[in-house]
A and B are shown apart, each in its own frame.
Chain A
Amino acid sequence: QVQLQQSGPGLVKPSQTLSLTCAISGDSVSSDSTTWNWIRQSPSRGLEWLGRTYYSSKWYNDYAVSVKSRITISPDTSKNQFSLQLNSVTPDDTAVYFCARFNWGNNWFDPWGQGTLVTVSS
């Protein structure tokens, strides 16, 4: 059974960098036909897909236009995990952040991490 375990701080100061990690068990971050995603949820934005990383002969990333200039999603094959970095955060980035697996064969997000509430405040 695949499980995703998120870790990272719940409070970040404005203009600083939000960093979260998603540890994978039961699958590999390097799996073919699988993407590893970050999604956030807030009352103002609803569920918003932020981006993904995946391996297909080499590593690829795709990002949402709304955060493209500030976001990095990167794999760590040695620890079988992937991470999110969001730079220059503002209070508008306050949200619950989820990591999730997406398999192209199945075409759905499953499983999800437990979610991390990140508050941007001084």
Chain B
Amino acid sequence: DIQMTQSPSSLSASVGDRVTITCRASQSINTYLNWYQQKPGKAPKLLIYLASSLQSGVPSRFSGSRSGTDFTLTISSLQPEDFATYYCQQSYSTPITFGQGTQLEIK
């Protein structure tokens, strides 16, 4: 199985801050990496697909990038509605696996 290691597991930040979350795959997954946002009591919502493509309707302050097996989600200027938990997910091979999540909290 491909292991997805996310860091940090939690993060405190303020409105307006620039935030970066990292996900490392245990082996090459090409660009088959998606990012989701999840709020309490809701299903995950797709933000970024294929490492760097912004899903329709998602604000442009969200962006994704790849360097080898390292992937990054960046929020350029945090808004109050961005405080949530973020997950990466690889779709390169079955079983599909997720990172353990990064909880983004208000400082």
- What is the interface of chain A, defined by CB distance below 8 A to chain B? 37, 46-49, 62, 64-65, 98, 100, 102, 106-115
Contact of B46 among A48, A64, A109 (CB under 8 A): A109
Chain A residues within 8 Å of B50, by CB: 107
The answer to whether A112 touches B98, judged by C-beta atoms less than 8 angstroms apart, is no
The answer to whether B95 touches A98, judged by C-beta atoms less than 8 angstroms apart, is no
The answer to whether A65 touches B32, judged by C-beta atoms less than 8 angstroms apart, is no
The answer to whether B94 touches A62, judged by C-beta atoms less than 8 angstroms apart, is yes
Q: What does DSSP make chain B's interface, helix, strand, loop or mixed?
A: loop
- What is the interface of chain B, defined by CB distance below 8 A to chain A? 1, 32, 34, 36, 41-44, 46, 49-50, 55, 87, 89, 91, 94-101
Contact of A47 among B42, B44, B49 (CB under 8 A): B44
The answer to whether A112 touches B94, judged by C-beta atoms less than 8 angstroms apart, is no
Given contacts A46-B101, A107-B91, A108-B46, 6 further A-B contacts (CB under 8 A): A48-B98, A49-B95, A49-B98, A107-B32, A110-B55, A111-B43
Q: Given A108-B91, A112-B44, answer yes or no on A49-B96 (Cβ-Cβ < 8 Å).
A: yes
From residue B50, how far is it (CB to closest CB) to chain A in Å?
6
The answer to whether A64 touches B95, judged by C-beta atoms less than 8 angstroms apart, is yes
The answer to whether B95 touches A47, judged by C-beta atoms less than 8 angstroms apart, is no
Nearest CB in chain B to that of A47: its residue:
B98
The answer to whether A46 touches B100, judged by C-beta atoms less than 8 angstroms apart, is yes
The answer to whether B98 touches A107, judged by C-beta atoms less than 8 angstroms apart, is no
From residue B33, how far is it (CB to closest CB) to chain A in Å?
9
The answer to whether B98 touches A108, judged by C-beta atoms less than 8 angstroms apart, is no
Q: Given A46-B100, A46-B101, A47-B87, answer yes or no on A110-B95 (Cβ-Cβ < 8 Å).
A: no
The answer to whether B95 touches A109, judged by C-beta atoms less than 8 angstroms apart, is no
